[in-house]
Amino acid sequence: MSTSGVRVSWLAGLNLGRRLVLGVPYVWLALFFLVPLLIVFGISFSTPKIAMPPIEPLFTYGADKVLQFRLYLSNYTFIAQDSLYLAAFANSVKIALVSTLLALLLGYPMAYGIARAPKSWRSVLFLLVVLPFFTSFLLRVYAWIGLLSRSGPINALLLKLGIIHEPLVMLQTDFAVYLGMVYSYLPFMVLPLYSAIEKLDPSLLEAAADLGCRPTKAFFRVTLPLTSEGILAGCLLVFIPSVGEYVIPAVLGGPGTLMIGRVLWEEFFNNRDWPLASSVAVLLLLLLVGFIVVLQRVQSREAASE
Binding site for other proteins (CB under 8 A): 48, 50-54, 82-84, 87-88, 123, 126-127, 130, 133-134, 136-138, 149-151, 169, 172, 187, 191-192, 194-196, 198-199, 229-230, 232-233, 236-237, 254-258, 263, 266, 268-273, 295-296, 299
Q: How far is the CB of 2 from other proteins (least distance, A)?
A: 27
Residue 60 Cα distances to 50, 71, 205, 263, angstroms? 17, 12, 68, 30
Largest CA distance in the chain: 86
Cα(8)–Cα(129) distance, integer angstroms: 46
Nearer to other proteins, 30 or 130 (CB): 130
* Contact between residue 291 and residue 241 where contact means Cβ atoms under 8 Å apart: no
Q: In which element (H, E) is residue 59 found?
A: strand 59-61
The nearer residue to other proteins, 35 or 90, going by C-beta atoms, is 90
The nearer residue to other proteins, 42 or 254, going by C-beta atoms, is: 254
Question: For the chain, how far is it from start to end, CA to CA, in angstroms?
Answer: 36
Nearer to other proteins, 87 or 286 (CB): 87
Report yes or no: 89 and 287 within 8 Å, Cβ to Cβ: yes
Backbone φ, ψ for residue 175 (5° rounding): -55, -45
Give how far the C-alpha of residue 232 lies from the chain's centroid of Cα atoms, to the nearest Å: 12
Those residues with Cβ within 8 angstroms of residue 24's Cβ, 6 or more apart along the chain or in another chain: none
Cα separation values, 61 from 57, 68, 169, 184, Å: 10, 6, 58, 49
- What is the C-alpha separation between 55 and 43, in angstroms, rounded? 8
CB of 233 to other proteins, least distance (A): 4
Q: Is the peptide bond before 53 cis (omega within 30 degrees of 0)?
A: yes
Specify the residue, 129 or 222, whose C-beta has the smaller distance to other proteins: 129
CB of 253 to other proteins, least distance (A): 9
3-state SS class at 117:
coil
Nearer to other proteins, 8 or 124 (CB): 124
Contact 196, 227 (CB under 8 A): yes
Identity of the residue, 218 or 273, whose beta carbon is nearer to other proteins in the bound complex: 273
Q: What is the DSSP string of 87-112?
A: HHHHHHHHHHHHHHHHHHHHHHHHHH
Q: Which is nearer to other proteins, 99 or 227 (CB)?
A: 227
